[in-house]
């Protein structure tokens, strides 16, 4: 579903959907992480841990981008997902794997994978639909996801 719709998903530590921009050009995916980080830096501004499958290489891209100085000043820290981290080299695991870095706590940075797994359950609703119906269904799914997680927090 994700490859066809072209969404870059950003979720917070509580599994709420923060941003889901539409990927128009999937050849330049780095700009979507930079755009999400720019919004996160404006909203949170300090001590953000950003887990990304390619967090080890995305670090260089972000710090060389237009938000690089702001990211460095905020104490932005990159991680790779716990599952994806084992596919990387030893250097990457030492510097970016959440089980090695104690500042990550018990987070595995695989929340997007949980969302995608559940999202696949509604893929049949828009598999043969238009782009509009893809986005409408994903918007409904993300809203429902957030409501369910908000209810689980007891508020």
Return the higher-pLDDT residue of 9 and 101: 9
Name residues whose C-beta falls within 8 Å of residue 8's C-beta, 6 or more positions apart in sequence. 19, 20, 21, 23, 29, 32, 33, 36
H/E element holding 2? helix 2-5
Q: Is 21 inside a domain boundary?
A: yes
Q: Is 10 inside a domain boundary?
A: yes
What's the longest Cα–Cα distance across the chain? 46
Any alpha helices (H) in 9-130, and if so which ranges?
A: 30-43, 55-63, 68-74, 82-85, 90-96, 111-119
For the chain, the average pLDDT equals 81
Q: Is 16 inside a domain boundary?
A: yes
Determine the straight-line distance between the first and last CA of the chain, rounded to whole angstroms.
Answer: 31
Q: What is residue 1's predicted lDDT score, i.e. its pLDDT?
A: 41
State the Cα–Cα distance between residues 136 and 146, nearest whole angstrom. Answer: 16
pLDDT digits (tens, 9 = 90+) for 73-115: 998 888 888 776 567 677 888 888 887 777 777 788 888 888 8
Task: Flag whether pLDDT at 55 surpasses 50.
Answer: yes
pTM of the model: 0.74
Q: Is 144 inside a domain boundary?
A: yes
Number of independent structural domains in the chain: 1
Transcribe 75-103 into DSSP letters. T-EEE--HHHHTTS-HHHHHHH-TTT-GG
Residue 69 confidence class, pLDDT cut points 50, 70, 90: very high
Q: What is residue 53's predicted lDDT score, i.e. its pLDDT?
A: 80
For the segment 7-27, the average pLDDT, to the nearest whole number, is 77
Q: What is residue 27's predicted lDDT score, i.e. its pLDDT?
A: 61
Q: What is residue 112's predicted lDDT score, i.e. its pLDDT?
A: 83
Q: Write down the residue that tokens 């909203």 correspond to.
A: 43
Q: What is residue 2's predicted lDDT score, i.e. its pLDDT?
A: 45
- We report the CATH number of the domain holding residue 123 as 3.30.420
- Please list the residues that pair with 61 across neighbouring strands: none
99 lies in which domain range?
2-150
Q: Is 155 inside a domain boundary?
A: no
Task: Classify residue 118 by its DSSP letter.
Answer: H
Task: Flag whether pLDDT at 16 surpasses 90.
Answer: no
């Amino acid at each position: 579903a994700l490859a066809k719709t072209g969404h870059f998903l950003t979720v917070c530590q509580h599994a709420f959907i923060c941003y889901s921009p539409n990927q128009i050009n999937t050849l330049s995916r780095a700009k979507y992480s930079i755009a999400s980080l720019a919004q996160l830096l404006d909203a949170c501004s300090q001590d953000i841990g950003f887990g990304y499958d390619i967090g080890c290489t995305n670090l260089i891209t972000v710090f060389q981008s237009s938000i690089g100085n702001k990211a460095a000043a905020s104490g932005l820290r990159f991680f790779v997902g716990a599952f994806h981290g084992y596919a990387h080299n030893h250097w990457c695991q030492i510097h970016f794997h959440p089980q090695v870095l104690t500042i990550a706590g018990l987070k595995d940075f695989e929340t997007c994978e949980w969302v995608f797994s559940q999202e696949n359950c509604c893929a049949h609703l828009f598999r043969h639909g238009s782009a509009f119906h893809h986005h409408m269904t994903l918007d409904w799914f993300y809203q429902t996801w957030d409501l369910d997680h908000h209810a689980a927090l007891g508020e």
